[in-house]
Amino acid sequence: MRSIRQGAALAAVTVMTAVVTPVAATAAQSSCEAPPRSSPTYDDFVLTYKSECATKKNYDRTFQDVTASVLVDKRNKLSVTTSTALAGAIASVKVNNKEFISSGGHGAAFQYAFHAWQGGKAATECYNPTQAGTRMDDVGQPPPYHGPSTSALYTMARSGSSIRTAGRPAMFVTLADTKPGWGNCRSADHQDKRSPFTMGLSPYWLQTEIELAPDHDVPALENVFRATATITSDDEPYDHFSGVFVAYLQPDFTQVFAYSPATGRLSPKPVESHTSKDPMVRCTDDDRYCLGMYIKPEVLSGKAYYYTMTRPPMDYNGHFGENTIQVTSPSGAMDKGDKVNYETYVVVGDKSRVEQTMTQLHRAFK
């Protein structure tokens, strides 16, 4: 993704390390007009989500963006925002004034995406239901590329510290998209000329929920939010189906770590693409801000795995580069009416806090 075209409850614990080092607030971006491409502030303008600069329309429906938040350690605000422009995908994760998510365009942010393919073939971007929308959704749009999404959003609402969404993901490369996808694939070779493909939509239904403390099942861990989803097929049988929950992080999240359940420690990994059965974490160079993912051991004992990717700026990603972290969950065959469930715990804080929290999560669920 990311093809931007330019013009078990846990007992209460006492946590002594900080979720982050608080920082002074900076002036808010007041204008939705992008600075010049040559400006040093251009990338930040495009990649940092601004609700006031994003559409609130989805087809004939109107939704306001939804934010849930919690006060961590009675002083650090953790907030998660889902976006109408991105059809319910997570556009922003903040601790105080620090943005974690890189949200320029419909192929980025923090979202679910899926692949289905037959035996003897391979996963392809041309059969790629994507929560936030299609790559065509960015074509002809001004930066920060948060115009309407082809993905259909039907529900997005907050209750307490939780956000629920329901919708139909679009195909990332639609039948109307004349350009080939990654690997030179063609949508017409993978999608039938029938509804919903002809509308740019996929034959799947997606329901998601985000739970911040105290709503999730580890309420003592205030620097954690739980993300769950259910995907339901309305398509023909496929031999292979795979789901991805992927976060595109801000450009300063350059460090990559793996958490070892055996030692309880984070160890550095190469920044190049990395596959792991151990939980993965990405951090800024100064270790002050980190985001990690954790899935329960019984899920990990199957085919699921963690993956991080670092890609330099190129035409495909709009010359912004990519720093990602994700959980990939292959689930075997998928038939019409079948459902697959996903559950991920997202951990934020400084490096020490994330390391400690991973240990607490593992003790809770092993």
Among 131, 111, 20, 109, smallest CA distance to 73 is for 20
Confidence at residue 29, expressed as pLDDT on a 0 to 100 scale: 41
pLDDT in tens, 154-176: 999 999 999 999 999 999 999 99
Say how many residues make up the chain: 366
pLDDT in tens, 90-139: 999 999 999 999 999 999 999 999 999 999 999 999 999 999 999 999 99
| CB-based contacts of 140-143 (< 8 A; 24+ apart in sequence) | 142/34, 143/34, 143/42, 143/45, 143/46, 143/104
pLDDT in tens, 229-273: 999 999 999 999 999 999 999 999 999 999 999 999 999 999 989
What average pLDDT score do residues 350-357 get? Answer: 98
Q: Is 34 helix (H, G, I), strand (E, B) or coil?
A: coil
CA pair distance 202, 149, nearest whole angstrom: 13
Confidence at residue 7, expressed as pLDDT on a 0 to 100 scale: 33
Contact 284, 23 (CB under 8 A): no
Instruction: Quote the pTM value.
Output: 0.92
What average pLDDT score do residues 219-229 get? Answer: 98
DSSP E strands: which ranges in 96-217?
Answer: 98-99, 110-117, 129-130, 152-159, 162-168, 170-171, 204-212
Q: Which tokens sit at 160? A: 């307490």
Q: Is 194 helix (H, G, I), strand (E, B) or coil?
A: coil
CA pair distance 333, 324, nearest whole angstrom: 27
pLDDT in tens, 14-43: 233 455 544 444 444 458 999 999 999 999
Confidence at residue 20, expressed as pLDDT on a 0 to 100 scale: 53
Among 56, 114, 115, smallest CA distance to 87 is for 56
pLDDT confidence of 302, banded at 50, 70, 90?
Answer: confident
Provide the residue type at 47 as one letter. L
Indicate the burial class of 38 (C-beta count within 10 angstroms; 0-12, 13-18, 19 or more).
exposed
Contact 283, 253 (CB under 8 A): yes
88: alpha, beta or left? (left if phi > 0; alpha if psi -120 to 50): left
Contact 177, 114 (CB under 8 A): no
Count CA atoms within 13 Å of residue 243 on its CB side.
Answer: 23
Among 283, 281, 277, 282, smallest CA distance to 262 is for 277
CA pair distance 32, 62, nearest whole angstrom: 20
Contact 22, 75 (CB under 8 A): yes
112 Cβ contact list (under 8 Å, min separation 6): 89, 130, 131, 169, 206, 208, 229, 231, 243, 244, 245, 246, 342
What average pLDDT score do residues 352-366 get? Answer: 96
Confidence at residue 127, expressed as pLDDT on a 0 to 100 scale: 98
Confidence at residue 26, expressed as pLDDT on a 0 to 100 scale: 42
Q: Which 8-state DSSP code applies to residue 43?
A: H
